Amino acid sequence: MYDQEKVEKFKLSAEQVIKNNDKDKAFQIISSEIDTCEDKYLNEYITVLNWIRGEKVLDWIERSSLRTTNVTLNWGHLAASAYFNWERAERWLTKGRPLSLIALDALLFCTTVGERLNQSPWMRDNKPKLMDNPKPEIVAKRLQEYLRMDSVPRTKNAVEKIIENVFYVGEKH
């Protein structure tokens, strides 16, 4: 049975770890706890890593994503918050699911223009962007290639929105 109280206790504990340690130590402690949590809590436990940000979080996602059977937006949110870049997005798209779905969600978060329906306060405040800012044509071409391998509605919708966003953002420069 799912225990929401357990999730809340973990989040409060993680908040204290982040307050009382440098980011490297906090990451080490929290990721170790997440690595041993029951899979049913994984999608919620990972949200605390949004505050740690950085390459180590992206590496952790690569190692840990196979544990999830349901790729929620939390994974893409986490990747976007960890300074996601196009180089990593391409690598994840090539590796396929679940990393490709996480990459698409992260790209969506990193390219969102203006307010987004149900956007978290964290995203509104931090407005993540792709760190290496590829040309819109490069992003569109690669996503169209990916779409030929994975054309389910979730993928189609994400690809369409990302392409729309990168060209909109590109026009503003």
What band does 37 get if pLDDT is binned at 50, 70 and 90? Answer: very high
* CB burial of residue 8 (10 Å; 0-12, 13-18, 19+): exposed
| pLDDT number for residue 122 | 80
Q: For 40-85, how does the pLDDT look when each residue is reduced to its tens digit (9 = 90+)?
A: 999 999 999 999 999 999 999 999 999 999 999 999 999 999 999 9
Average pLDDT on 97-109 reads 97
Average pLDDT on 23-51 reads 97
Query: Left (φ > 0), alpha (ψ -120 to 50) or beta: where does 72 sit?
Result: beta
Nearest to 74 by CA among 122, 114, 28: 122
Q: State the chain's mean pLDDT as an integer.
A: 93
| pLDDT number for residue 172 | 47
**Considering just the CA atoms, what is the radius of gyration of the chain in Å?**
16
- Contact at 8 Å (CB) between 65 and 75? yes
Given a cut of 60, whether residue 169 has pLDDT beyond it is: no
DSSP 44-71: HHGGGGGGT-SHHHHHHHHHHGGG-SS-
Least confident segment among 9-13, 18-22, 118-122, 142-146: 118-122
Can you tell me the distance from the alpha carbon of 158 to that of 59, in angstroms, rounded to the nearest whole number?
23
Q: For 105-143, how does the pLDDT look when each residue is reduced to its tens digit (9 = 90+)?
A: 999 999 987 766 667 788 888 889 999 989 999 999 999
Can you tell me the distance from the alpha carbon of 135 to that of 71, in angstroms, rounded to the nearest whole number?
27
| Side chain identity at residue 123, one-letter code | M
Average pLDDT on 139-149 reads 98
| pLDDT number for residue 93 | 98
| Cut 0.85: pTM above it | yes
Helix 99-111 to helix 136-149 angle (10° resolution) is 150
- Contact at 8 Å (CB) between 74 and 43? yes
| pLDDT number for residue 157 | 97
Average pLDDT on 21-50 reads 97
User: Alpha helix locations (H) across 37-152?
Assistant: 39-45, 55-64, 73-81, 86-95, 99-111, 121-126, 136-149
